[in-house]
Amino acid sequence: MVRILGKADKGVRISPDEARELFQSHDLLLLGRYANMIARKKNGKVISYVVDRNINYTNICIGGCHFCAFSRKQDASDAYLLTYDEIEQKVSELVLMGGTQVLLQGGLHPTLPLRWYTELISYMKKKFPDIVFHAFSPPEILHLAKISGLTPHDIIKILREAGWESMPGGGAEVLSEEARLKMGKTKISTKEWLDIMGHCHQQGVGTTATMMFGHVETTENRVEHLNHIRALQDRTGGFRAFIPWIFQPGNNLLGERIVRKTSAVDYLQTLAISRIFLDNVRNIQGSWVTMGEKIGQLSLFFGANDLGSTMLEENVVAAAGCVNQLDEKDMIRLINDAGFVPIKRDTFYSYQGGDNAN
- The pLDDT tens digits of the residues spanning 21-76 come to 999 999 999 999 999 999 999 999 999 999 999 999 999 998 766 667 767 888 88
Domain segments of the chain: what residues?
14-344
Percent of the chain having pLDDT more than 90? 76
Rounded mean pLDDT of 215-227?
95
Task: Give the whole-angstrom CA distance, residue 219 versus residue 17.
Answer: 11
Nearest to 204 by CA among 170, 247, 169, 161: 161
pLDDT mean across residues, the chain: 90
Query: Which pLDDT does position 357 carry in this prediction?
Result: 43
Rounded mean pLDDT of 240-261?
70
Query: Which pLDDT does position 318 carry in this prediction?
Result: 45
Angle in degrees, CA 173, 14, 210, rounded to 5: 20
Does 323 have pLDDT greater than 50?
no
Query: Which pLDDT does position 29 carry in this prediction?
Result: 97
What does CATH list as the number for 14-344?
Answer: 3.20.20.70
| DSSP run (H or E) holding 268 | helix 264-277
Query: Which pLDDT does position 222 carry in this prediction?
Result: 98
Are 145 and 155 within 8 A, CB to CB?
yes
What is the side-by-side order of every strand in the sheet holding 306-309? 306-309, 46-50, 341-344
Q: Count CB neighbours of 79 within 10 A.
A: 16
Distance of CA 105 to the CA centre of its chain: 12
Query: Which pLDDT does position 258 carry in this prediction?
Result: 56
pTM strictly above 0.75: yes
36 — phi, psi (to 5°)? -65, -40
Query: Which pLDDT does position 250 carry in this prediction?
Result: 57
Instruction: Give 253's pLDDT tier (boundaries 50, 70, 90).
Output: low
DSSP of 44-67, one letter per residue?
TTEEEEE-EEEEE-B-B-S---TT
| DSSP run (H or E) holding 207 | strand 206-213
